Homo-oligomer: A and B are copies of this chain.
């Protein structure tokens, strides 16, 4: 019934997070309605993402010449203080507070299971290598900045156990953020307080 090009589109776009076959179908028809010029523009914008690199240290995105992002390359930031966040948008929210001047580790998407997957484990290994390469062989402080939810707490527990040998101090963001909420949605003031009152 549908041309192959549309079926292929639906098949591939259905695999994207929170887009099912039904939304992908609607997307296809909406795009076709937009006409070839705008479809071409979307295609170009999408291909542009292929040039984005992932930082070898903190795993944030960047388009620098070298392998690390501007945050990791910034010598004015504390080199021995680290915040572990789940995702890129959490890092952006923390940066917007203007109250944090250390480095980051983006752990990658967490699951409700609370168990570290292969990707998390790989990033934690990279992180441990960074910590043991510090002048003191340890971090001055690691702030665990995961969502204050049941599974966030599980991950926080696991990470604390895992990283205690690698740091002088481990803290968590203060519970200014309402329990069950998400970092990405917190306003800058609340996030700022949770940084100041970390426990």
Contacts and interface: CB of A to CB of B under 8 A. Distances in A.
Contacts of A42: 12-13, 46
B52 A43 contact: no
Interface in A16-34: 16-18, 22-23, 25-33
Contacts of A52: 3, 5-6, 32
Interface residues on A, range: 35 or more
How many copies of the polypeptide does the oligomer hold?
2
B45 A50 contact: no
Interface in A119-134: none
28 contacts: A1-B95, A3-B61, A3-B63, A5-B45, A5-B48, A5-B51, A6-B52, A8-B48, A9-B45, A9-B49, A12-B41, A12-B45, A16-B31, A18-B26, A28-B49, A29-B88, A31-B49, A32-B49, A32-B52, A32-B54, A36-B51, A39-B49, A39-B50, A40-B50, A42-B46, A43-B43, A43-B44, A43-B47
Given A3-B52, A16-B31, A25-B89, 15 more contacts: A2-B92, A3-B62, A5-B45, A5-B48, A5-B63, A8-B45, A12-B42, A13-B42, A18-B26, A28-B49, A29-B61, A29-B88, A29-B89, A32-B61, A42-B46
Interface of A: 1-6, 8-9, 12-13, 16-18, 22-23, 25-33, 36, 39-52, 54, 61-63, 87-89, 92, 95-96, 184
